[in-house]
Amino acid sequence: MLSPIQMTDAIKANRLRALDYYFAKNLCGDEHSDEFWVALLLSQAQSQGHVCLPLAKLADMPLPQICQQQRSGRLPQVHALLDSLLAHPGFSSAGDSTQVTPIVIDGDGAQARLYLARYWRYEHQVAKDLLQRASHNYPVELESLGQSLRQVCQIKPSQDLNGEVDWQIVACALAAQRQLAIITGGPGTGKTTTVIRLLAILLMQQELTIKLVAPTGKAAVRMSESIRNAKADLVLDEHLKALIPEQASTIHRLLGTIPNSIDFRHNAQRPIRADLVILDEASMVDLPMMAKLLDALPQGCRLIMLGDKDQLSSVEAGAVMGDLCAGVRYQAGQTLMSYRQPSAETLTRLTGFDLQAHVNSQASAMSESLVMLQKSWRFGGLIGELATGVNQCDWRLVSNLLQSLTIDSPVDWFAPVNNHRLVQDALANYQARVRDCQAGIKPAAELIKDFDSYRILSAVRKGEMGADTLNLAIEKELENLSLKDASQSFYVGRPVMILSNDYHLGLFNGDIGVCLLDEAGQPKVGFLQPDNTVSFYHPSRLPEHTSAFAMTIHKSQGSEFAQVAIALPIAENQSQTLSKELLYTGITRAKKRVSLYATETVLRACVTRATERDSGLEQQLISLAESE
């Protein structure tokens, strides 16, 4: 057994978590056994966001060196290792319903995948539920649906856009017929506009109980704002407009949290009341939360998932949105969907667009539920080109763009040797916001929104360019300007981010508020709600929190800012955690301007590294479809 000193050294070196070690030790006992190492590595993989661990990755793998006293060696080849694991009482096959074990093995031979049992159940449940919904088409009167499409989407009978497909209209036509629709697309591609049109079309046919949900409070506020704005632009009967809901909630609030429990009040036995659920920012939803949401939907409930498949995956295990968008194909510079001939013909009849290039005789029910919006209405010009280059791991394109910047460009690039330039730039932006809060010259909701004009997004929490360090540095500068009392942690004008869920208060990880003076002149932290009201909380009541002048890119998902300052680590040894998904997510939080603070070496490492998460969801969907 590892000594306490060896354990501490291994944890400090990030080679091991105590949880991983004790899970494997309690399950397998013998630290020298292959089963012990497999259990430890599986637990470690799950903590890194992987849902499963492919057996092929373990076979013949050198044992990780945790301490000098540890035996050296390699794990066995695939078949020998699989036989050894299945002979151990802590492991069982997914097809063996007679055993309940902590670790489940799904698949045979080199295709086998290892799961913590709970995550195998989540993945199997999600695959089964989504496939069932994807396989269900609603009977619709095509003539009536086509008329509604033409009215809401303003399709002209002869419209062909020079052969270009308007995927927003196709998405409306597809989702109007199906119980499941997955609509993916980058920022500004019109996901909200598409949903507003779709809701109008569906409400023309029948009354519906509709729920709008997002993973975080901030994302729910943004969803509500986007829908209000899109409704105002919709040319439609006011009575029909009034039927379209505007207020979104978090998934936690929709399902009903139970204090000190991972379960929710709504589940399969007590489903929510809804005919249609629209889930925004679906890429942020991890596998366990997706399983719980699907579990709580009534059997006939429609589900529409919106998100950007190229964004960072959820913080916790899983990459559900990315897995579900595997049906997107790329061929000869074209982005292609996959629809069977009858489906493509129906969509063509409804929309007038020629979809023959998107016909695939092998298309699955899941791929027939998928639409990718491909034209960005927000990102033209340099920010859009930069995001595209990063998303494609194209360092040459990114480098050329950055080398061609001018003083008028909406992108800046600074190669820092320390954080001084960034802190001073941030102070120039934040100083006026803090002064406005302390003067109290604007309504609370407006003061909170003003902070969204600028935000530092850091790739990491620690280190010179980490969010924690930058927050401290900015607050020190505010003290020098007499805008903050050094003896007080709370001061009017402090942006605050919640770091843990408090179900009783209704505050959740990632929610952002600002310390303001309430109506009685007392400092309280105000959080903007989806209905544009502000809820105030005394600072002493808040769950774990931190200042939010700077936040991690992970925490920024679901948010949007006029200008973002992206801070990457200066030290090359901190660049291992960087990826193109991280940088793409940071860039696409900006509406008007992006400032990059990164050395060329670290930036290149970020652009050229893609994240991979091990998951069996795609294979589960295939296996379940084949068994039907």
Sequence ranges of the binding site = 185-192
Residue type for 288, please? P
Paired with 178 in beta bridges are 137
CA distance 553 to 539: 25
Tokens representing residue 19 in the block: 């949880």
What tokens does 229 get? 């704005």
Distances 229 to 46, 224, 307, 593 between C-alpha atoms, Å: 40, 9, 19, 22
567, HSE (Cβ side, Cα atoms, 13 Å):
29
Q: 3-state DSSP call for residue 458?
A: strand
Extended beta strands in 187-258, E state: 210-214, 248-250
Is the distance from CB of 310 to CB of 335 less than 8 angstroms?
Answer: no
Strands 495-498 and 545-547, bridge-based pairing: antiparallel
Tally of CA atoms within 13 A in the half-sphere of 566 that contains its CB? 28
Give the CA-trace dihedral at 294, 298, 299, 300, to 10 degrees.
Answer: -110
CB 549 within 8 A of CB 471: yes
Which residue positions form the known binding site for ATP?
A: 185-192
- Among 78, 119, 145, 461, smallest CA distance to 287 is for 119
b/e code 283-297 from CB counts within 10 Å (16+ = b): bbbbbbbbbbbbbbb
